[in-house]
Amino acid sequence: MKNIRHKHRIAIVATHIPIVTNNAHSQIKLYTHIALANPQWKDIEGQEVLVITEPHAYISLRHYVNEESVPTWNYVAVHVYGTVPILRQPDEVMELLDRTAKKTAGRV
């Protein structure tokens, strides 16, 4: 996420991107790739929060037995805090792209 300051307000900018991990249980690291054509990569370094959302759905009143219930939204969200460094070595970037492609290609 990125805060953009305007004259009288702050706008939050977010990018939906695939994430891969290092699979180390002692110190988990998350990795992603933002294309150079996307200007948000310039502002992500040093950011401190990542919001991950996944399954979500509207829960209708039809699913409740109690007539005094109200509809709701069922969701899962995780906020991850840390700092974002940028991988600058070409071999690190290529390895990340390879891992990301292997993870996401099976979904197509």
| pLDDT in the model for residue 11 | 61
Residue 44: Cβ within 10 Å count: 19
Complete domains list, the chain, with CATH? 2-95 (2.30.110.10)
Give a three-class secondary structure readout of 22-69.
CCCCCCCCEECCCCCCCCCHHHHCCCCEEEEEEEEEEECHHHCCCCCC
Contact 19, 69 (CB under 8 A): no
d(CA 59, CA 69): 11
Contact 1, 15 (CB under 8 A): no
| pLDDT in the model for residue 90 | 94
- Amino acid identity, position 18: P
| pLDDT in the model for residue 3 | 47
The rounded average pLDDT for each run of 10 residues, N- to C-terminus, in the chain (108 residues) is 48 76 84 85 78 83 82 86 88 92 76
| pLDDT in the model for residue 108 | 55
